[in-house]
Amino acid sequence: MIAQKFSFALIGNPNAGKSSIFNQLTGLRQKTGNFPGVTVEKKTGLATLADYRQVSVMDLPGAYSLYPNSQDERIVLNILSNPQDPNYPDAVIYVADLTNLERHLLLLSQIKDLGLPLILALNMIDLAVEEGVFFDKKNLIKDLEVPVVGVNGRTGEGVEELKEWMFAQSIQKRDIAAQYSPFEKKAYFYSPTDAERKTIDKIRTVLPDADVPYRALLWAHHYDRLPFLTNFQKNTIKQAAESEKFEDLRLQITETLQRFDKIQPIIRGAIRKPKNESVTLTDHIDRIVTHHIYGPLIFFGILALIFQSIFSWAAIGKDAIEQAFIGLNVLLKNQLPRVWITDLITDGVLAGLSGVLQFIPQIAVLFFFIGLLEEVGYMARSVYLFDRIMQKFGMNGRSIVALVSGGACAIPAIMSTRTISNWKERLITIMVTPLISCSARIPVFVLLVGFIVPQKRVLGYFSFQGLVFGGLYVLSAVSALASAYVFKRILKTNESTFLMIELPDYKLPHWKNVWYNVLQKVRSFVTEAGKTIIVVSIILWFLASFGPPASMQRTIIASETAAKTENLSPRQTNDYIASKKLEASFAGRLGKFIEPAISPLGFDWKIGIALISSFAAREVFVGSIATIYSVGSDPDNTSSIQERMKKEIRPNGSPVYSLAASLSLMIFYVFALQCMSTIAVVHRETKSWKWPLIQFLYMGAMAYVGSYLVYHLFR
Amino acid sequence: MSLKTASDLKEGETGMILSYGNDRIAGKLLSMGFIPGKTLRLVRKSPFGGGLYLKMEENVIAVRENEASYILISDTQV
């Protein structure tokens, strides 16, 4: 067996510039995944050092200390406090910002006490020197007893030196038994209280991995939520802690303060800053960007730009992909023999693939903007601006970005909620985002609004149809907020919600980081949600193309004869047969089966078929209706469908698409979660089927009740 | 010198951190470098209320008003 590669973990405070250094070290040789059980992104890559020696590098989420306040920080703790963890690194590259070193050294001191080999990579030295900061590297190295390298994530300056240090670390023989040296014996940053020492000693006697005293101390603090400890171990630690009256939070504060007591003289010896508090560029920018009038205006301006780019610019890409697939579909259908396997490839697999790939432009565009805003430091400002309002609805300032981009497409919007660290706030945002009217509903609304709303002007200027259209959007936004409010009341959490967010200095974006981020998001959507979408697409294809064989056969023969006696043209014959086949298929049977359930909404079984098939994506509704009414291949589609819909009557002679029924159908599409891709993405983001199921049901219930009310109100 | 909390500050005022009235908030803010002895400035309040924009040396954070009410400060106004 080949020996495991030497592994480095990149650790540092949020906004320390880890990603840039990660990208500099690994280039595009990186993989993204998730840490087990959570949706915190895990990025790993390979770096080549001298002698072609390859080492693995893992970018851990940003953390302030080993006393976690967020899911991100918890992951860092879980990995670093468990030497058995597959992600436990052989050494740590600690990334810190020179202009703010005091704070950054807290976590470094904790990692050092864990006995992990360290390299300190100091980012932004150039910037600090420009600001007039005097920096004595030799002193810092002497005091910290850690190699220090100045790096520039932007230009790559210093990365070669960092690699030399990594090389040196990687060939060093590891101190396998990081022998137990009690706190008295070694120069640790922290010397614990008596209660802590006694607790540690008790833990050590029963737990073999507690050989590093600070690790044992961390266990004493966090045992309850450390996933790798067995119940027996947890109980042992609990007893030890209780018998020593171990006061978790108090001791944490004592420890932190003591660490800063040690850090402050080190900083004084290595760094001298100009005395007066200077007014920085960030101060100037924030005077406008977080201004109580300009702030929100700028924010909504940015949102409008994002919305516009997803809605119209990315839509060009989306349409191009769709058209390409339609073309490919037709080509294959003409070239391949007309057997079921051809249909499986074209209408099942290709349709599913198209359903996956057509979202790429929108995902790429949204994450380009989000990545850019995150890079320059703007995102935290939006949280600050809107925290209060969003809090009322159980969400976070960042939720606004998801909700607004949900107006273009829920898929990238839901993926964007990853930046929300509070689970409850994130979940609520995910749950209500699909209520926001997305672009896929537009074809359905166009068809129905055009059908029921007369083309007249209101007040001489506003198009009546446009107003109704706008009303649908308002309805969707209001219902999303209302649902969020309800979820806020229902969902219980033991996670307390905090704002306490750092507003980092503004800086120019590293374009590399932005592009890598876009690439990763697209990749993870295609590989993870993509699978579900293709499977569902194949199932829907099967339902719409197959029925009980005998009755399908009969239907085809009967409709062929009927077409002959009616003297239909070849195209009309094809449309007619397709319509009859759909009626006889499983989907058709399903439509008839659910008719009793949907007739109170004013829908007949034909609409039922369209509802079922448009589960693939809402816009499929139009196509299905066209097939059912055998106007499938009519070039002038929308208006011919509308003509045909007018003629459709019930057995009693009244029109199927009465005003009430059409309104009801429209309401149904406002609320119902008719989108398998959303379900796949929610499944992926929440790591469970529970939440997509709840979402499907609650939105379905809203759709049903809403449609029922509207139908009976207008009948 | 009078005792007050960061939520009592008016825009532009400063105060020196003395201690914290809540251990959880203390834990989080200490780890972000907001340690006793540092001088804090309330730069502005958020447009829709509830949020405070605080600056300590090069560190800028946003906190909610109730969170700030646990940061005990001494008046350093001259």
ipTM for the whole complex: 0.94
Here the tokens at position A603 are 């829908």
Contact A628, A606 (CB under 8 A): yes
Rounded-to-integer distance, Cα A682 and Cα A410, Å: 10
* pLDDT for res B78: 44
Average pLDDT of span A572-600: 88
Question: A292–B49: do the CB atoms touch at under 8 Å?
Answer: no
A651-682: per-residue pLDDT in tens? 787 888 888 999 999 999 999 998 888 999 99
Token pair 């690994």 is found at A26
Tell me how far apart the alpha carbons of residues A458 and A464 are, in angstroms, rounded to a whole number. Answer: 6
Give A522-527 contacts, CB < 8 A, sequence gap 24+: A522/A360, A522/A363, A522/A364, A522/A367, A523/A32, A524/A32, A524/A415, A525/A356, A525/A359, A525/A360, A525/A363, A525/A411, A525/A415, A525/A681, A526/A356, A526/A357, A526/A360
Largest interatomic CA distance in chain B: 32
pLDDT digits 0-9 by tens, A395-412: 988 898 888 888 878 988
Q: Which residues of B touch A64 (CB under 8 A)?
A: 28, 31-32
The enclosing H or E element of A149 equals: strand A148-151
d(CA A135, CA A494): 44
* Alpha-helix runs per DSSP H in A58-131: 71-80, 101-113, 125-130
Cα-trace Rg, chain B: 11
Q: Do A502 and B28 touch (CB under 8 A)?
A: no
> Which CA distances in Å does A611 have to A504, A594, A608, A646, A703?
48, 10, 5, 19, 12
Judge whether residue A259 has pLDDT over 90.
Answer: yes
Please name the member of A257, A384, A498 whose beta carbon is closest to the beta carbon of B46: A384
Has residue A116 got a pLDDT over 80?
yes
Greater confidence (A211 vs A137) lies with: A137
Q: Return the top range by mean pLDDT from A35-49, A266-280, A287-301, A617-631.
A: A287-301
- Choice among A129-133, A177-181, A248-252, A686-690 with the minimum mean pLDDT: A177-181
What pLDDT is recorded for position A142?
Answer: 92
Question: What is d(CA A532, CA A537) in angstroms, rounded to the nearest whole number?
Answer: 8
Could you list the beta-strand ranges (E) of A7-106: 7-12, 30-34, 41-48, 54-59, 91-97
More confident position, A714 or A110: A110
Which of chain B's residues have a Cβ under 8 Å away from the Cβ of A503? 53, 60-62
Non-local CB neighbours of A403 within 8 Å, separated by 6+ positions: A413, A429, A432, A433, A436, A477, A480
Q: How far is A475 from chain B (nearest CA, A)?
A: 24
Contact A648/A655 with Cβ under 8 angstroms? yes
Dihedral sign for Cα atoms in the order A662, A664, A670, A675: negative
From chain B, pick out residues whose CB is under 8 angstroms from the CB of A102: 33
Task: State how far residue B65 is from chain A, nearest Cα, in angstroms.
Answer: 10
Angle at the Cα of A160 (from A157 to A165), degrees rounded to 5? 125
Tokens of A231: 């119940």
| pLDDT value of residue A566 | 82
Given CB atoms, is B53 within the 8 Å cutoff of chain A?
yes
Residue B61's nearest CA partner among B24, B27, B22, B33 is: B33
Q: Structure pTM? A: 0.83
Residues ≥6 apart with Cβ < 8 Å to A586: A542, A543, A544, A546, A547
φ, ψ for residue A260, nearest 5 deg:
-65, -30
Closest residue in chain B to residue A495, using alpha carbons only: B24
CA separation for the pair A610, A601 (Å, rounded): 14
Q: What spatial distance separates the first Cα and last Cα of chain B, rounded to whole Å?
A: 10
**Sign, Cα dihedral of B6, B9, B14, B16:** negative
Closest CA to A675 of A276, A359, A315: A359
Distance to chain B for A607, nearest Cα, Å: 46
Distance between CA atoms of residues A105 and A108, nearest Å: 5
d(CA A93, CA A81): 17
Are A502 and B60 within 8 A, CB to CB? yes
**Residue A177: band (very low, low, confident or very high) from pLDDT cuts 50, 70, 90:** very low
Average pLDDT value over all residues in chain A: 87
Cβ pair A470, A445 in contact under 8 A: no
A1: pLDDT confidence band, cut at 50, 70 and 90?
very low
Residue A705's pLDDT band (boundaries 50, 70, 90)? very high
> Would you tell me how many other CB atoms lie within 10 Å of the CB of residue A546?
16
- When CB atoms are compared, the residue of B43, B45, B67 closest to A500 is B67
Residue A178's pLDDT band, with cuts at 50, 70 and 90, is low
| Distance in angstroms between the alpha carbons of the first and the last residue of chain A | 75
d(CA A614, CA A145): 64
Out of B25, B31, B44, the one facing A256 most closely (by C-beta) is B31
H or E stretch covering A572: helix A570-584
Query: Which one, of A347, A358, A456, A482, lies nearest residue A412 by Cα?
Result: A358
- Chain A positions touching B11 (Cβ under 8 A) are none
Mean pLDDT of B42-52: 90
High-pLDDT (> 90) share of chain A, % = 38
For A656-688, the DSSP string reads: SS-HHHHHHHHHHHHHS---HHHHHHHHHHHTS
Q: Answer yes or no: do B51 and A385 touch at CB < 8 A.
A: yes
Which of B28, B35, B59 minimises the CB distance to A498?
Answer: B28
Beta strand A91-97 pairing with A7-12: parallel
Buried b (16+ CB within 10 A) or exposed e, A550-572: eebeebeeebeeebeeeebeeeb
In this predicted structure, the answer to whether residue A555 has a pLDDT above a threshold of 90 is no
Q: Beta strands of A228-385 (E only): which ranges? A: 271-272
- B12 and chain A in contact, CB less than 8 A: no
Residue A207 has pLDDT above 50, yes or no: yes
**CA–CA gap between residue A704 and residue A670 (Å, rounded):** 11
Give residue A175's pLDDT band: very low, low, confident or very high (50, 70, 90): low
Residue A276 has pLDDT above 80, yes or no: no
Q: Is A426 in a helix, a strand, or coil?
A: helix
The whole-number average pLDDT for the span A201-229 is: 86
Average pLDDT over residues B55-71: 92
Residue of A nearest to B39 (CA): A277
Reported confidence tier of residue A643, pLDDT bands at 50, 70, 90: confident
- Helical H segments across A336-406, by residue range: 340-343, 351-357, 360-376, 379-392, 399-406
